[in-house]
Amino acid sequence: MDLGIRGRTAIVCASSHGLGKGCARALAEAGAVLVINGRDPAALAATAAELRSATGAAVTAVAADLSTRDGQAALLAACPEPDILVNNNGGPPFRDFRELDREALLAGVTMNMVTPIELIQRVIDPMARRGFGRIVNITSISVKMPIGGLDLSSGARAGLTAFVAGVARGVAHRNVTINNLLPGSFDTRRLQQGFARAAAKGGEPAEAVAARAREEIPARRFGTAEEFGQACAFLCSAQAGYITGQSLLIDGGAFPGAF
């Protein structure tokens, strides 16, 4: 299926590995011109080389912390007026909410709410003027379903979801869409690290922890970054112009709700 975005410019934040990398790969396969981002220059360079080799896409790598003004400036200097913006960022670590001081709270909200909003502010008006824009925010299943120890991440991402709901309606008539992707359990480094922590705490093999988690998912498996990326690419497509202000769960059926 031709997604109608060949030659479109796309920024994918936090894309040196995991779900962000899956989104970057799918957009590159669709013919987009990519700007990828991460904090580890070596990992980012390796991903850029891999994407160029696998897809033939033009890929620019910007190593920067997007939670800072300087990091955002470096990213937008590489691509001042993107057609596509995929907001992504790692979340705060598992922590009991009682342990969160003001500094930790503000850092979490900055990472998972303020930073994506600031990037949207910078790119949305040029998108509207050109009559095409696709913004996708990668949030989490925890926006809809509480996960113990991720209260800060859940709250910040839920805040982002509420914030962009009204923004999305204000630019829909200009063929600019804003949607959210809510991943459940995907086979990423973050998931494996979580299993390792739980295994160490419980004194059992990490695979045993993973097996129990897998059995709790109706699909009986973890998702892949590749399939997540394909869903993101569709929301960025020309054909998805009538889909906006939506939060799409990609969780193998884990969230037990009818809506």
pLDDT digits (tens, 9 = 90+) for 192-214: 888 888 888 888 888 988 999 99
**Cβ-proximal residues to 110 (8 Å cutoff; 6+ apart), any chain:** 67
Supply the pLDDT for residue 251: 97
Q: Does pLDDT of 95 surpass 90? A: no
Per-residue pLDDT, averaged over 164-186, amounts to 97
The domain containing residue 240 runs over which residues? Answer: 9-185+225-250
- Sequence length of the chain is 259
| β strands within the chain, DSSP E | 9-12, 33-38, 59-63, 84-87, 133-138, 176-183, 247-250
Q: Are 199 and 155 in contact (CB under 8 A)?
A: no
Is residue 257 in some structural domain?
no
Residue 148 pLDDT class (50, 70, 90 cuts):
confident
| Residue 86 Cα distances to 194, 217, 235, angstroms | 25, 27, 10
- Asked if residue 147 and residue 91 are part of one domain, the reply reads yes
- 33/193 Cα distance (integer angstroms): 32
Q: What residues does 135 pair with on adjacent strands? A: 85, 178
Per-residue pLDDT, averaged over 141-146, amounts to 93
- Asked if residue 75 and residue 119 are part of one domain, the reply reads yes
Q: Does pLDDT of 128 surpass 90? A: yes
Per-residue pLDDT, averaged over 32-50, amounts to 98
Is residue 4 in some structural domain?
no
Q: Express as a percent the part of the chain with pLDDT over 90.
A: 85
Q: Does pLDDT of 74 surpass 90? A: yes
Q: Are 168 and 160 in contact (CB under 8 A)?
A: no
Q: What is the value of pTM for the model shown?
A: 0.95
Domain count, the chain: 2
- Asked if residue 127 and residue 116 are part of one domain, the reply reads yes
